[in-house]
Structure formats: structure tokens, C-alpha cells
């Protein structure tokens, strides 16, 4: 399926879904799906394209989130500029730590990235005077809703952030799909197949790993910034270990090698806990059983496996 068809389907879903929302609460859930989807797209590039693992990617989401909280307060920057600052800062840190970390492989790489994520989370929690510590801190209003109101377009907070995050997800998906089909993306996918073969073909393996790591860090940072701006409040949980695990699980569950699969996984794992709340104490058990079942019978992820079976049925 061409990238334009995939983007058209995604845009149509984002536009049509609000028709079926019974209340404003669902706009908030939809925006959360989009925010998680943006972070997962970064992991699709890192894991699915380049074949590298990261268990500390929530650290970059924390950097983006706290950039939006601290930059307006400390430096008087507009929140939109703070979002860009967080993305640039995350890219710089990823480039700095990526060079030594990405020399590692397998579980050594996983542990190293995990250490980075824990370091960011601990810094945020311990710097109480600056970040508010475990209690978190408030985030300044973006201000675009006031501009829309002045133009005569009145939207609720949920509708506004649904639209903003939906557009951001579309842009992210467009970037990821273009990257996949570009010479850089093909080099990354070759690297995923075999580093030795890639070197034989003249691919700069170290550079491609670093590029994938930096791009994925920017995606995670933007995700954290949008979450902070939407909620108007942020806590260290955004940079926590469990958030990193959730993001990796979303990518693998939907299909880490597929852009739309990653978004699908983000949607499933964001929405499923909302549906399973009726099971009360058994919610986590059922969620775990579903995830294990999918990984056993659909190891390549939900969306690629479903698409493959549909193609076989047509034949």
C-alpha cells in the first residue's frame, strides 16, 4: 500500500471518529492515542527500521515535557518555542550519548538506554526547587485557543487538542513513511537485516544507528511536550521506566516494522485499559493475557499479521 493511501486512511479516521464520540471525554482519549502514537513512531524508526532497542525513551519524552514547563517560566519563551527547544535539546543529547551507547548490542544496549531513562527520571524527581520533584509542576497555556476564539471559531479544550495532536500525528507518519522509502531508510532497514552485510555494501553503520536514535528522540520529545501542554500539568511519570516499557510494547504489539502498525499498537494499548476497567481487579491480568497471546500467534505484530492473512484470503 502506498504511503499516500496510508496517510489518507489515517487522516480520514482522525476526521471521522469524532462523529461517534458521545462526550468530550473521548476527545481527550483520542488526543492521548495520538500523543502515544507520535512517540511510538520514533520507536518504529529505531526498532523496526534500524533494529536497535531502547528501554529509556521516556527520558526524551520527559525532556520535552519539562522544556515546555520550565522554558516559559525561567526564560519567558512561548510554549510553542519551548516545544522546539525540547526537540532540539533531545536531539543534541541523543547525538551525544548515542555515539558510545550504540556501539553496544543486544541486552547491553537495552541496559544502557534504560540507565539513561532512569537518570533523567531521577534528575527530575530530585531537583525539587526547579521541577517540583514528585509533585510535578504546572505548564503554561499554549494560547492558540484564544487566537481561534478571536477569529470566531470556538472549540472546547478536548476538541482543540484532538485536532492539534491529530495533525502532529499525521505529520509524524508522513515523515516516517518518507524516511522508510528514502536512501537513509533503506540503509537503516539493511542494517536491521545484517550489520555485516550492510558494511560490505558500504553503509556507514554507526552513522545510520545514530541518525535513527536522534530522530526517534525528537519524536519522543514532541510527544512529551504535547502531553504537557494538553494536560497543563506534568509529573516525573512521563519520564519513568514504565512509560518506556509501555511505548516499546505499543510498537511491538502493533508491528514495529510498520508505521501504521505502530500507530495501531498505540491505539490498542491506550484504549484497552479504558475498556477493561469493567473487570476491576482482573484488568491487568486480562491485559497481560491478551498481549502474550498476540506475541505468540502474531509475533510480527497485530496489523502486519492481519494484513497478511487478508491477502491470503483474497488469493
Can you give the pLDDT at residue 221? 96
CA 256, 259, 265: angle at the middle one, nearest 5? 60
Q: The C-alpha cell of 153 is what?
A: 471559531
Can you give the pLDDT at residue 150? 65
**pLDDT by residue (tens digit) across 232-272?**
999 999 999 889 988 998 998 888 888 999 999 999 989 88
Choose the CATH number for 26-314 among 1.20.58, 1.10.287, 1.10.3470, 3.40.1350: 1.10.3470
The list of the chain residues with pLDDT below 50 reads: none
Domain limits, the chain: 26-314
Can you give the pLDDT at residue 175? 95
Amino acid at each position: 500500500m502506498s504511503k499516500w493511501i496510508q496517510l489518507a486512511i489515517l487522516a480520514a479516521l482522525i476526521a471521522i471518529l469524532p462523529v461517534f464520540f458521545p462526550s468530550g471525554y473521548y476527545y481527550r482519549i483520542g488526543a492521548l492515542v495520538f500523543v502515544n502514537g507520535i512517540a511510538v513512531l520514533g520507536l518504529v524508526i529505531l526498532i523496526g527500521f534500524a533494529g536497535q532497542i531502547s528501554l529509556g525513551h521516556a527520558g526524551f519524552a520527559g525532556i520535552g515535557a519539562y522544556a515546555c514547563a520550565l522554558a516559559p517560566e525561567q526564560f519567558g519563551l512561548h510554549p510553542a518555542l519551548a516545544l522546539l527547544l525540547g526537540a532540539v535539546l533531545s536531539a543534541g543529547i541523543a547525538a551525544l550519548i548515542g555515539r558510545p551507547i550504540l556501539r553496544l548490542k543486544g541486552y547491553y544496549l537495552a541496559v544502557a538506554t534504560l540507565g539513561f531513562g532512569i537518570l533523567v527520571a531521577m534528575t527530575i524527581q530530585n531537583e525539587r526547587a526547579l521541577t517540583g520533584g514528585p509533585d510535578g509542576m504546572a505548564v503554561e497555556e499554549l494560547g492558540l485557543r484564544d487566537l481561534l476564539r478571536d477569529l470566531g471559531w470556538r472549540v472546547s479544550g478536548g476538541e482543540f487538542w484532538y485536532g492539534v495532536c491529530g495533525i502532529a500525528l499525521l505529520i509524524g507518519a508522513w515523515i516516517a513513511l518518507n524516511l522508510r522509502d528514502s536512501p537513509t531508510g533503506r540503509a537503516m532497514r539493511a542494517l536491521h537485516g545484517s550489520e555485516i552485510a550492510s558494511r560490505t555494501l558500504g553503509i556507514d553503520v554507526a552513522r545510520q544507528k545514530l541518525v535513527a536514535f536522534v530522530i526517534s528522540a525528537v519524536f519522543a520529545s514532541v510527544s512529551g511536550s504535547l502531553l504537557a501542554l494538553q494536560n497543563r500539568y506534568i509529573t516525573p511519570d512521563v519520564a519513568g521506566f514504565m512509560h518506556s516499557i509501555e511505548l516499546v510494547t505499543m510498537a511491538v504489539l502493533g508491528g514495529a516494522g510498520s508505521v501504521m502498525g505502530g500507530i495501531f499498537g498505540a491505539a490498542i494499548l491506550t484504549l484497552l485499559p479504558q475498556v477493561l476497567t469493567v473487570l476491576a481487579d482482573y484488568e491487568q491480568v486480562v491485559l497481560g493475557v491478551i498481549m502474550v497471546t498476540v506475541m505468540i500467534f502474531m509475533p510480527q505484530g497485530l496489523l502486519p499479521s492481519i494484513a497478511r492473512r487478508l491477502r491470503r484470503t483474497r488469493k
